[in-house]
Chains A and B, each alone.
Chain A
Amino acid sequence: MKNKQGVIALLVAAGLVLALPALAAAEGTYRSFLGYDSRITIWLIAEIHLMFGAFVLGVPIFAVTIEIIGWKTRDARYDKLAYEFTQLLGGAFGFTALLGGLLTFALFGLYPKFMERFSEIFHDVMYIYAGLFFLESTTFYLYYYFWNRMADRKGLHIFLGVLLNVWGTVIMMVANSWAAYMMSPVGLDKETGQFIGTVWQAVNNPLWHPLNFHRFLGNVAFGGLICGGYAAIRYLGAKTPEERAHYDWMGYVGNFCAMCGLIPLPFAGYYLGREVYSASAVMGNNMMGGAFSWTFIIQAILIGGIFIGSNYYLWIGMHRIPGAERYTRYIKFIEILLLLCFAIWLTPHNLPLSAEEQVIVGGQYHPTLKYLGLMSGKNAVVNLIILLTFLSFLLYRRANLGDGIPFSRQGARSRGVLVGVAGLLSLIMGSYANFLLSLDPVSLDLPPETAKYFVLPAALLIIQIAAVVVTVVLTFWDRGKIAELFYCGVTTVNATFVLGVYGYVIMAVANPFLRNLAVTQWMILMSALVLVTTVDVFLFKGAAQVGEMNWGKMPLRSQYVLIAVCVFIVMLIGLMGFIRSGLREDWHIYAILQDASEGSWTPDNAVMAKVVSACVLVFLAAISFLFWLTGAGAKKPESPEQLVKGDTSKAASPPELLVTPK
C-alpha cells in the first residue's frame, strides 16, 4: 500500500514539474480558490507540506545515526529502534509528496504571473529538484524494504541511509534557495527588475545558507520530538511491561535527538536573523522591532516550554535509575536558574501597557527591565539555558554509574583523545581570537578607534584556552569532576556574565561587532559542551552500574510532557514559518515583484494564531493517522513470551522489535 502511495506521489510530482512551462503560460495575474483568500490557501498548504517535509528530513538523520551505533556496538536494540523510526517515515513520504504537488498546483493556479516570473529564473533547478526527489524516494524504499535482507551487509545498508540523508538535505537546500530568494533576491537589474544574473547566483542568495542551517537543525529537533510524542502515546497504550520499556526508551531517544538539534538552534536563529537584517534593514526592523516583534514573544514562550519540558522529562526519568538519588539534590538549583533565565528570555523590550501604566512607567520602556529585552540579555541567558540543559544530561548520564577507571590508568589512547580534543578546541578558539585582534574596524564600517572593543572577547577566548589546559591537567590528576565543574564555571562567567554585559556596551558603541561577540559566546559554550563531554566519557569509563535501568517505570505525567513538547514544536515551526514568509509583506519577491492581489495584506496576530492553529491541528491529525496506519500495518506478535524470548519465527517484522532494552 505504501509502495503504491509513494509511486503515485512520485508520478504526481514529476508530472507537475514537467508541466510547469505549460502552466506558467496561463493567462491572468491572480485567481482565487473557490472565492477564498489565495494567500491563506497557499499558507495552509505550504505550512503543512513544510511540517511533513521537516519530519521526513529530520527522522532519517537520527535513524541512521542510531543504526550506526547499533552496528558499532553490536547491540540489536539500536537496530530495531532505528527500524521503528524509519517505519514511521513510510506514509509521511507519500503525504509530503502529495502536498508538494498540491502546493505546486495551487501556486501555478492562484499566482500564474508570479510563478511565470519565478520559473524563468529557477526553471532548470526545478528539474533537478524533481530528479533529487526521485532519487531520495528510491533510496528510502531501498533502505526501508531491504533492512532485513541486508542484515549481513550492514555497511552497505548504512551507506544507503547516509545517501538518503544526502538527497534529503540537498532537496531541502534547493527548496530553501527558492524561499530565500523571495526574501533576498540577487542578480536583478535595478532599473527594470529583470533577472540578469545566473541561476547559481539566484540559488546562492544571501539568506540561503542561514536558512539551510536553521532548517537542518530545526528538522532534527522536530523529527525527534514528533517521534517522542509517538512513543509517549504508544507507552500510554502499552499492554505489557516489555512494550512500556521499549516505548519508554524510544521516547528518551527521541527527546535526546531533539535536544541535539535544539541546543545549537538559537545560534542558527541568531545567524539567520542577523542576515535578514543585513539583507534588508526594513525586514529586520519589521522582524525584531516592528509588526512581527510580538510573534517573537510567543516564540520565546514556546521555546521555553520545550526546554523546560525536555529537562522535566529528564528529571522525572532519573526516578527509574538506581543511584540517581546521589544527584537529584542538584535539580532544584538547575530548575531555579532555568526559570530565572526564561524570565529574562521572555521579558519584552517593548511592554504591553495600558494608558495609566504608560504614565507610571514613564514611557514605553521600563527603566530597569528594558535592558532584559535587548539582544545582549537574550544572548547571555540562552547560553546559560543551554549549559544548564547540558548539565541535566550529564546528571542523567552518570546517574547509575559508579566510579570509573582513574584516568591516570586508562592508557595512552584516552590521553591522546583528550589532548587531541583540547588541542583542537584551543586551535579553533585561538584562531578566532587572532581574527578578532587583527580585525579592521573599517571592514565593519566602524571608526578605527573602535578596535579597542575587540580586545576583550579575544582575551576571553585566550582565558578559555588556559581553562582548557587546566581542565586537561586536572583530569590527568584524576580530578575529572573538579575539572568539569571548573570549565563549566569559567564558561558561565565568560559567556554569560562578562560577554552578556559587554554586549550592551557593544550595542551602543560598535553595533556591527555584536555578531562577532555572539560567535565568541557560541564558541566558548560549544567548547564546554565538547570538552566536558569528552572528560565525562573518560571519567566513567569502565564504571560499574549501580543497578539496572528500570525502563518502563516512568509516571504517566512524563509521557504527557513528551506529548506537550511535541505539540509545542509543531506550533513553533508553524509560527516561524509565518514570520519568515510574512516578513516579505506584500511582495512576492522582496522589493522586486509586488503582490497586488486582494490577499496581500500582512495578517495580524489574531489571524496568524487561527491559521497556524489550523495547520497544527491538521498536521497532528494527519501524522496521527499515519502512525495509526503504521501500527495497523504491522503484524502483532502472538504472545508476550515471544517478545521476551525473541522467538523470531512468528513475531512481527523485524523480529524482536519489542525486546526489553536493558
Chain B
Amino acid sequence: MNTRRGIPLLVKFVAVLVGVYVGVRLVRPPLPSSLVMMYMTLTVCGVLVYVSIYAETWQEFSAPLVELFRGSPERGGLWQGGRQVVLGLIPLLLGFGVYQKVTPSFTPPAEQRVVHPAPPFEVMGLTNPLQQRPDRLQEHLELGARVYFQNCVYCHGDRFDGEGHFAHGFNPPPANFVDAGTIAQLQESYVFWRVSTGGPGLPAESTPWNSAMPKWDTMLNEEERWAVVLYLYHQTGWKPRTWE
C-alpha cells in the first residue's frame, strides 16, 4: 500500500468506511438497515484484509491502536489528554449501544418475510383449459377482462402494476404483474392457485403472510378464474413458466 503521501493508514481506513457508508446511504429509495449493515460489514472485513496482507501496512495500521491502548509516556500532554478522552468514550459508546438495544421500542422488528409460498401438490401441473380452445381466445380474453375490471383493478391497477386505488392501504402491497419477477416466473397453475385461494389459502409455513388477497373461488367460477389468468399473461406480454 502506498503511504508516501503521509496520510496515516488508520485515517485512510476510516475515510474508506465513511465514504462507503455515505455512498450506500445515498441510494434512493434508501436501503434497509439490514442491507446497510451487510455492506458495511463486508467493507470493514475487506479493508482489514487489505491492510493486513503486508507486514508493513499491518504494522502501520495497528501501531497507533496498540499505542493508544498501551500508552506512551514520552508523548506530550495533548496526546495523553486525547487518549484519556478516547478511552473514556469507548465504554460510553458501548453503554449507549446497550441502552439502545434494551430500551423498549414501539417499532416492530424487521420481518424476514417469505414471499414465495409453496403451492399444494394438487394444484401443481394443472393446465389452463382455456388454452385448449385457441378458436375461442378472444371470447376468453373478454371474459378475463371483465373479471379483472370488476374485481382486481382496485388493487392491482389498470396498468397491472399493483398501483390500484386501494393499493397503498395494504402491506404487503398488491403484486405488480408488469414486473418480470412476478407472474413471468410462475406457472399458470400457480397463479390460478393464488387467485383461487388468496390470502386465506396460503400455507401454514412461514406465517404471517399478511396478504389481503380475497379467496376468489367462493366468488368466481373456475372458468372465470382461468380466464383472468389468461388475460393477465396476454395483457402483460409475459409467457407463463412452463417447465423445469
Complex CA distance for A315 and B46, rounded to whole angstroms: 13
Contact A339 B46 (CB under 8 A): yes
- Neighbour of A360 across the interface among B30, B108, B172, CB < 8 A: B30
> Quick check: is B85 within 8 A (CB to CB) of the other chain?
no
Query: Contact at A281–B46, with CB atoms within 8 Å?
Result: no
Taking CB as reference atom, which chain A residue is nearest B2?
Answer: A329
Known: A353-B110, A363-B173. A507 touches B180 (CB 8 A): yes
- Can you list 22 A-B pairs with a CB-CB distance of less than 8 A? A274-B244, A289-B115, A290-B117, A291-B118, A293-B114, A315-B53, A332-B1, A335-B46, A352-B110, A354-B33, A355-B107, A355-B108, A358-B172, A364-B115, A366-B29, A368-B27, A374-B181, A446-B239, A446-B243, A509-B184, A509-B239, A511-B185
Query: What residues of B have a CB within 8 angstroms of the CB of A293 in the complex?
Result: 114, 116
What is the CB-to-nearest-CB distance from B18 to chain A, in angstroms, rounded to a whole number? Answer: 17
When the two chains form their complex, are residues B46 and A362 in contact, meaning their CB atoms are under 8 A apart? Answer: no
Q: Which residues of B have CB within 8 Å of A450? A: 239
User: Which of B35-43, B73-81, B223-231 lies at the binding interface?
Assistant: B35-43
- What does the 1/0 interface line of B55-67 toward A look like (CB < 8 Å)? 1001000000000
A343 to B109, CA, bound (A): 24
Select one of B30, B43, B49, B121 contacting A282, CB under 8 A: B121
Considering the chains assembled together, what is the distance between the CA atoms of A507 and B180 in angstroms? Answer: 8
Interface of chain B: mostly helix, strand, loop or mixed:
loop
Indicate if the CB atoms of A352 and B185 lie closer than 8 Å.
Answer: no
**Do the beta carbons of A343 and B42 come within 8 Å of each other?**
yes
Partner of B53, one of A331, A362, A369, A508: A331
User: Is the CB–CB distance between B108 and A277 below 8 Å?
Assistant: no
At the interface, yes or no: B128 with Cβ under 8 Å from chain A?
A: no
Partner of A291, one of B32, B120, B173, B206: B206
A585 and B39 alpha carbons, distance in the complex (Å): 33
Closest to A357 in B: B32
Closest B residue to A373 using CB positions: B181
Q: Which residue of A lies closest to B112 (CB)?
A: A352
B241 part of interface (Cβ distance < 8 Å): yes
* CB pair B205 A290 closer than 8 Å: yes
Most chain B beta carbons < 10 A, residue from A351, A450, A510: A351
B54 within 8 A of A: yes
CA A291 – CA B113 in complex, angstroms?
A: 9
A335 close to B49 (CB less than 8 A): yes
Q: Does B34 contact A (CB under 8 A)?
A: yes
B21 at the interface (CB under 8 A from A): no
Q: Contacting A369 at CB < 8 Å: which of B31, B58, B107, B162? A: B31
Residue of A nearest to B30 (CB): A360
Q: What bracket does the count of chain A residues touching chain B fall in?
A: 35 or more
Which chain B residues lie closer than 8 Å to A397 at the CB level? none
Is A286 an interface position by the 8 A CB rule?
Answer: yes
Chain A interface SS verdict (over half): helix
- Determine whether the beta carbon of A342 is less than 8 Å from that of B42: yes
* Interface residue? A187 (CB, 8 A): no
Find out whether the CB atom of B34 lies under 8 angstroms from the CB atom of A277: no
Q: Which residues of A contact B111 (CB under 8 A)?
A: 352-354
Asked if A285 contacts B117 (CB within 8 A), the reply is yes
Contact A335 B180, beta carbon cutoff 8 Å? no
Set of chain A residues within 8 Å of B181, measured between Cβ atoms:
349, 365, 370, 374
Give chain B residues whose Cβ lies under 8 Å from the Cβ of A362.
Answer: 29, 173
Contact B43 A339 (CB under 8 A): yes
Q: How far is the CA of A509 from the CA of B238 in the complex (A)?
A: 7
Q: Within the complex, which residue of B33, B45, B53, B120 is in contact with A316, where a contact is CB–CB below 8 Å?
A: B53
Inter-chain contact A353/B32, CB cutoff 8 Å: yes
The proximity string for B residues 161-173 relative to A, scoring 1 for CB distances below 8 Å and 0 otherwise, is 0100000000111
The 10 closest A-B pairs by CB, nearest first: A289-B116, A445-B243, A445-B242, A508-B180, A278-B244, A339-B46, A285-B118, A352-B34, A357-B32, A286-B118
B: residues with CB less than 8 A from A are: 1, 27, 29-35, 38-39, 42-43, 45-46, 49-50, 52-55, 58, 107-121, 124, 162, 171-173, 176, 180-181, 184-185, 187, 190, 205-206, 238-239, 241-244
Q: Which of A291, A369, A512 contacts B35 (CB 8 A)?
A: A369
Query: Which chain A residues border B238 with CB–CB below 8 Å?
Result: 508-509
Given contacts A290-B205, A293-B114, A319-B55, contact A361 B49 (CB under 8 A): no
B59 to chain A, nearest CB (A): 11
Measured CA separation A288–B115 after assembly (Å): 10
Nearest-CB residue, chain A, relative to B49:
A312
Asked if A32 is at the interface (CB within 8 A of a chain B CB), the reply is: no
**Shortest Cβ distance from B1 into chain A, in angstroms?**
8
Which residues of the partner chain A approach B35 to less than 8 Å between Cβ atoms? 347-348, 351, 366, 369
Given contacts A293-B116, A355-B171, A446-B242, 7 further A-B contacts (CB under 8 A): A282-B120, A290-B114, A291-B206, A308-B45, A347-B35, A363-B172, A510-B239
Contact of A364 among B54, B113, B118, B190 (CB under 8 A): B113
Q: How far is the CB of B242 from chain A (nearest CB, A)?
A: 4
Is A282 within 8 A of B118, CB to CB? yes
Best-buried of A290, A331, A512, A585 by chain B (most CB within 10 Å): A290
- Residue numbers in B under 8 Å from A356 (CB-CB): 107
Residues in B whose Cβ lies below 8 Å from that of A285? 116-119
B119 to chain A, nearest CB (A): 6
Taking CB atoms, residues of chain A closer than 8 Å to B42 are: 304, 339, 342-343, 346
The answer, yes or no, to whether A238 is at the interface (CB within 8 Å) is no
Contacts of A257-289 to chain B: CB distance below 8 A: 274, 277-278, 280-286, 288-289
Residues of A within 8 A of B176 (CB): 363
Q: Is A630 located at the chain interface by the 8 A CB criterion?
A: no
State the CA gap A278–B243 with chains docked (Å): 8
Are B29 and A512 touching (Cβ within 8 A)?
A: no
Question: Which residues on B sit within 8 Å (CB–CB) of A599?
Answer: none
* Chain A residues within 8 Å of B116, by CB: 285, 288-290, 293
Given contacts A293-B114, A331-B53, contact A364 B172 (CB under 8 A): yes
Residue of A nearest to B242 (CB): A445
> Smallest CB–CB gap between B45 and chain A, Å?
7
Closest to B187 in A: A281
- Residues from chain A with Cβ under 8 Å of B52 in the complex: 316, 557
Q: How far is the CB of A400 from chain B (nearest CB, A)?
A: 17
